[in-house]
Structure 1
C-alpha cells in the first residue's frame, strides 16, 4: 500500500467515567423533532410514522468544559440539549426487543445549530448540512456505561443558559424511545461501535451569544459545560 499524501486527524476520543480507555467516535446520527413540545415551538408536527435523522461529522465533536468561538457564518446560533447514546456493539436490522444490546453508554450532549442557515435551507427545500454539521457543533460530556446508568425512564434533562433554566423535560417525553430509534436506524445503516446517536431536544431552544455559559444536566450522567467566545 502506498503511503498517504497527508495526515488526517484521528477519531475524537470521548472520556468514559471510571475507565482508562476512551470511546472513539465513528459517526454521529441526530434524531429530529423527538419531543412534541419542541416540534410545536418550531412550527412543526411530529412525524409519528417513523423518526427522521440528520448527521454530523465525527470532527464536529467538542468536549465538555471547552470555550469555543462563536460559529462561523451565522447570526443566530442556537443550543439544543440532548441525551446521547453511544453504540458499543454491531446492530444491523435490530428489533425493539434486542436493540439495547448494542448500547455501550450515555452522555449529556448539545447540538449547536446555525438556525438562520437551517431555516434558509428549509425554505428552499435543501439539506440542512450548513445549519447542523460544522466544527464544535456536537458537544459531549464523558460517557457513563449503560449498566451504571440503569433503565431509561423519567430522568430529568435540563439546560441552563447563564444560570437561568432554558430547557427542562424528562427522557420519557421522547416521542421515539431509544430502542425504537436504534431498531429503526439499523434498518438503513450497519450501526457499529463508535457511533453516537443524539436523540433530540426538548422545548426551550434559543440563541447563544459571545460570553454565554451553558450547563447541561441529565440525572445520572456527568454534567456538560460550554462557554461561547467571541467570533473568529
Structure 2
C-alpha cells in the first residue's frame, strides 16, 4: 500500500508498521498486566493495512477478534537515534487506526511464550484512516480517541493518559530502527477493547483527525 504524506509530493510505500502494547494504564489493568517501564514494541506486516471504507476480514483461525483504537503517527523524515527534542519534527501527520487482535490466538501464544505475530498480523488487521498534516493537529497529547461499534461507544480516552508520549515513542523506536518516510507508529489503545462480529460497523475518531470507518465480515 502507498500512502500520501503531507510533506511529500508523491505517495510513498508503507514501510514498517510499529505498534505499542500497553501504553494506557487502564488497558494494562483490564488485560491483568503490569504497566511497562519502557515501551513494548511489536510489528505488523504492511499487508495488514486496510483503508477506510473497506472490511476487516475475520479469519477462520480465530473465534475472538477484538478492536483496539489507536492514534497513528506517520513518519515523514528519516532518522536514527533521534533526540527527544526533535522527535515530533520527524512526524509528518496523524491518523486514527485500529489494531485488530485475534485474542484467542494471542492468549495461546502468551501461554506458550511465543510471539504475537500471528494474532496481530492477519490481512486487514491494521485499518488506517485518512492522514492529517501534523501542523493541523494542535496538541497530540490532548486528543480524544473514540471508537463506536454499531453506533455504541466502546472506547473513549484522551492521549494525555498515554504512559509514553508520541515524542517519547518516536525517540525510543529510533534507537532500535532507522525510521523512514512511510513508517507508521500505532501508539497504543486505551481500555474498552472487546470482540467484533460479522456484520459490525466500526467508526474510529480522534480530535482534529478525519474518522476511520470499516465494516466486519467473516472471511470466506
TM-score by length of 1: 0.91
Aligned: 1:100 with 2:88? yes
Contact 2:5–2:76 (CA<8 Å) still a contact in 1? no
Aligned: 1:155 with 2:143? yes
**Cα offset, 1:15, TM superposition:** 4.6
2:100 alignment partner, one of 108, 112, 120: 112
Corresponding residue of 1:7 = none
- Give the gaps of 5 or more residues in structure 1: 1-11
Aligned: 1:37 with 2:34? no
Q: Compare CA radii of gyration and give the structure with the larger one.
A: 1
Q: Residues 22 and 114 of structure 1: is their aligned pair in 2 closer, same or farther, counting only changes over 3 Å?
A: same
- Give the gaps of 5 or more residues in structure 2: none
Aligned: 1:22 with 2:8? no
Corresponding residue of 1:46 = 35
Q: Residues 138 and 164 of structure 1: is their aligned pair in 2 closer, same or farther, counting only changes over 3 Å?
A: same
2:206 alignment partner, one of 193, 209, 218: 218
Matches within 5 A, 1:5-20: 12-15=1-4
1:198 alignment partner, one of 186, 201, 212: 186
Distance 1:45 1:144 in 2: 33
**Cα offset, 1:72, TM superposition:** 3.3
Contact 1:37–1:202 (CA<8 Å) still a contact in 2? yes
Distance 1:27 1:86 in 2: 10
SS in 2 for 1:47: coil
Q: In terms of mean alpha carbon deviation, does 149-158 or 26-35 score higher? A: 149-158
Matches within 5 A, 1:71-220: 71-220=59-208
Contact 2:5–2:182 (CA<8 Å) still a contact in 1? no
Distance 1:132 1:56 in 2: 7
**Cα offset, 1:149, TM superposition:** 1.5
Q: Residues 193 and 20 of structure 1: is their aligned pair in 2 closer, same or farther, counting only changes over 3 Å?
A: closer
Corresponding residue of 1:55 = 43
